[in-house]
Amino acid sequence: MRILVVDDEKTLVKGMKFNLENEGYEVECAYDGAAALELAREGRFDLILLDVMMPGLSGIELCREIRTKAMMPILFLSAKTRDVDKAEGLANGGDDYLIKPFSALELTSRVKALLRRSMVYQPQTAAAPPQTVQSGELSIDLTTGAAALAGNPLTLTETEAQLLRLLAQHRGDVLSAREIYEAVWKLATFPKIGCRGTGGVWRFGAVVCLAAMGNADSPASLLRPPGSRDRARAADRAGTARVCCRQPSAAG
């Protein structure tokens, strides 16, 4: 992450740069408001440490200018200790206020807290492009779980959509029934179902061909008893797509 340090006290700037770089941050420095404004306009910073009292453009004025273009966290640094001074800095776009002199530990702790909050609450400026998996005539939007077969949207329950998305994300992988239950039905324990293969590992083919399946809101519906293959084939002939899954043989 990139941090811009702005202060006219060069010795202090040198110390802050050293401590922040030791924490793994990339640090740029400026010693007056005009130079800092140019850097802020040219490069993207994740955080700005900004002295309040500087010659020329003050920290308060610089903060107002930056806020017209960017919303990264700004931590004011100042020897002013009055509550009214702190309030002025926060009211003009600052996110925190650190009184000089301060320790390296307090500085890095404030920096980490501000960066952590900015990552959690950072607004989304643009929607992420949808991630789509295409398999034959079946298309699956991994972001929303929406699916279409031959261009026709499929009506799926929430559970069916979650199951379809899980299989699409793991095409060609071997998934245990427990992994499926935990990912889709959020079950903490594996259910006891009187069906051969319970708890075993199923192999889902490289081509995901789930489009819609009956009773998918129950995890038991995925455990097909012996003889269900013919019924599944009949469903296929009737135009109903299904999960392509099979139990591996004893040899494989």
What is the tally of helices (H) and strands (E) in the chain?
8, 12
Contact of 102 with 76, CB cutoff 8 Å: no
Please write the tens of the pLDDT for every residue from 38-89: 998 887 899 999 999 998 899 999 999 999 888 899 999 999 999 999 999 9
| pLDDT computed for residue 121 by the predictor | 59
- For residue 203, is pLDDT > 90? no
Please write the tens of the pLDDT for every residue from 110-134: 999 999 888 765 555 455 555 787 8
At 116, give phi and psi (nearest 5°): -65, -45
pTM to 2 decimals? 0.49
Average pLDDT, the chain: 74
Specify the higher pLDDT residue, 99 or 43: 99
- For residue 25, is pLDDT > 90? yes
22/50 Cα distance (integer angstroms): 20
Residue 52, helix vs strand vs coil: coil
27/6 Cα distance (integer angstroms): 11
Name 97's bridge partners: 76
Specify the higher pLDDT residue, 232 or 92: 92
Here the tokens at position 190 are 């594996």
| pLDDT computed for residue 215 by the predictor | 38
88/221 Cα distance (integer angstroms): 63
Least confident of 37-51, 114-128, 183-197, 209-223: 209-223
